[in-house]
Amino acid sequence: MNKSLWKGNRPQDIWRCESDIPEDIWVQAATAALPVLAVAGIDLSSGFDALLETILGEGQFGPDHFRMGFAKRVYYRVKPFFPQPLAWVLRKWYSNPNRQKFPLQWPIEPRYALYLREVLRQAMLLSGTKSLRYINFWPEGRRYALILTHDVETQAGQENIRAIADLEESMGFRSSFNFIPERYTIDNNLVDELKRRGFEIGIHGLRHDGKLFLSKKGFDERVKRINGYLETYGAAGFRSPLTHRNPEWMQALDVEYDSSFFDTDPYEPMPGGTMSIYPYLLGKFVELPYTLMQDYTLASFMQQDTPRLWLEKTAFIEQYHGMALINSHPDYLQDTRTQYVYTRFLEEMQTKDSVYHALPRDTARWWRERSAANPRNPTYPQTIGSVHLDENNLRFDT
Calpha distance 266→246 (Å, rounded): 17
**Containing H/E element for 202?**
strand 200-203
Q: What is the pLDDT along the chain (398 residues), one digit of tens a residue?
A: 788 999 999 999 999 999 889 999 999 999 999 999 999 999 999 899 999 999 999 999 999 999 977 666 665 666 655 565 665 566 566 555 555 689 999 999 999 999 999 999 999 999 999 999 999 999 999 999 999 999 999 999 999 999 999 999 999 999 999 999 999 999 999 999 999 999 999 999 999 999 999 999 999 999 999 999 999 999 999 999 999 999 999 999 999 999 999 999 999 999 999 999 999 999 999 999 999 999 999 998 899 999 999 999 999 999 999 999 999 999 999 999 999 999 999 999 999 999 999 999 999 999 999 999 988 887 766 789 999 999 889 999 86
Asked whether residue 218 is assigned to any structural domain, the reply reads: yes
Geometric angle at alpha carbon 54, from 51 and 57, rounded to 5°: 115
What's the pLDDT score for residue 176? 98
Asked whether residue 197 is assigned to any structural domain, the reply reads: yes
Taking the CA atoms of residue 323, residue 327, residue 330 and residue 331 in that order, the dihedral angle to the nearest 10 degrees is: -160
Asked whether residue 198 is assigned to any structural domain, the reply reads: yes
Residues with Cβ within 8 Å of 69's Cβ and at least 6 positions away in sequence, in order, are none
Asked whether residue 109 is assigned to any structural domain, the reply reads: no
Q: Which domain does 166 fall in, by range?
A: 141-367
Asked whether residue 180 is assigned to any structural domain, the reply reads: yes
Asked whether residue 122 is assigned to any structural domain, the reply reads: no
Kindly give the pairing relationship between strand 144-151 and strand 355-357: parallel
What's the pLDDT score for residue 93? 61
What's the pLDDT score for residue 119? 98
Asked whether residue 134 is assigned to any structural domain, the reply reads: no
Kindly give the pairing relationship between strand 384-390 and strand 200-203: unpaired
Asked whether residue 201 is assigned to any structural domain, the reply reads: yes
**CATH number of the domain residue 291 falls in:** 3.20.20.370
pTM of the full predicted structure? Answer: 0.94
How many folded domains does the chain comprise?
1
What's the pLDDT score for residue 86? 62
Q: How far apart are the first and last CA of the chain?
A: 38
Residues with Cβ within 8 Å of 73's Cβ and at least 6 positions away in sequence, in order, are 214
